[in-house]
Amino acid sequence: ESWINRIELTIALVLQVGILIVTVGALVERQWLGAFSGSIVLLLTFAPALIERHLRVPLPVELTLITSVFLYASFALGEARDFYEKIWWWDLALHGVAALTIGIIGFLSIYVFYMTHRIQIAAGWIATITFALAVSLGTIWEIFEFLMDWNFGLNMQKSGLVDTMTDLMINAAGAAIAAVIGYFYVHGNDGLYGRRIIRAVIDRQAKT
């Protein structure tokens, strides 16, 4: 699987370069808010590596790729190429993917401690914490959108209350899927859900 990992890392790197190009373009055109947003997005692409290094939670390459794809789709396509306006379901899809990804990362973080017997917790509680983490971060993002619209005159919330509530419901659905994945995996039904990603974490943890 090493060649697969190399391909995934290469794709993630290409997407990071794409975000960098868009950010530099915004800077050259003196679109300061776009340049600032691009800088933040580029830093966020390194979040899985930072989590792995500082929290000592081994994360698979797939999550780095998923994070890069999501952030590229959100910033380089959604904002810079106006996909949010051109494709009505773009924002909804990204919120669902974000919630699912955050939920899986949260589950993996908890499961590593569970697997190594550093915590004793029932599968139901692991699923509950996974769900709560993803929903909480999704809610924080909605607050961020409101503050950006309020302070900088943007239109991140689009239709206001309807957009916010729809995003929160999509976020909750993605979080629920991640929680179900975690619950069934803990109960041994790993053949049904995300076996490759979760197995990669376990294998890397065993090597450390």
Angle at Cα 133 formed by Cα 127 and Cα 139, nearest 5°?
Answer: 135
Amino acid 79: pLDDT: 81
Which residues lie closer than 8 Å to 109 by C-beta, 6 or more apart? 51, 55, 57
Q: How confident is the model at residue 16 (pLDDT cuts 50, 70, 90)?
A: very high
d(CA 99, CA 140): 12
The DSSP element (H or E) to which 110 belongs, if any, is helix 90-115
Q: What is the pLDDT of residues 140-177, one digit of tens each?
A: 988 887 887 788 776 666 677 888 888 899 999 999 99
pLDDT tens-digit profile of 34-89?
A: 898 899 999 999 988 887 788 776 677 878 888 899 899 988 998 888 888 899 88
Asked whether 100 and 170 are in contact (CB, 8 A), the reply is no
Contact 130, 175 (CB under 8 A): yes
What are 197-207's pLDDT values in tens digits?
556 655 655 55
In degrees and rounded to multiples of 5, residue 94 shows phi and psi of -65, -40
Q: Is the pTM of this model over 0.85?
A: no
CA 69-83-67 angle, 5° bins: 15
Is residue 147 within 8 A of residue 141, CB to CB? The reply is: no
Please give the residue that has the higher pLDDT: either 192 or 200: 200
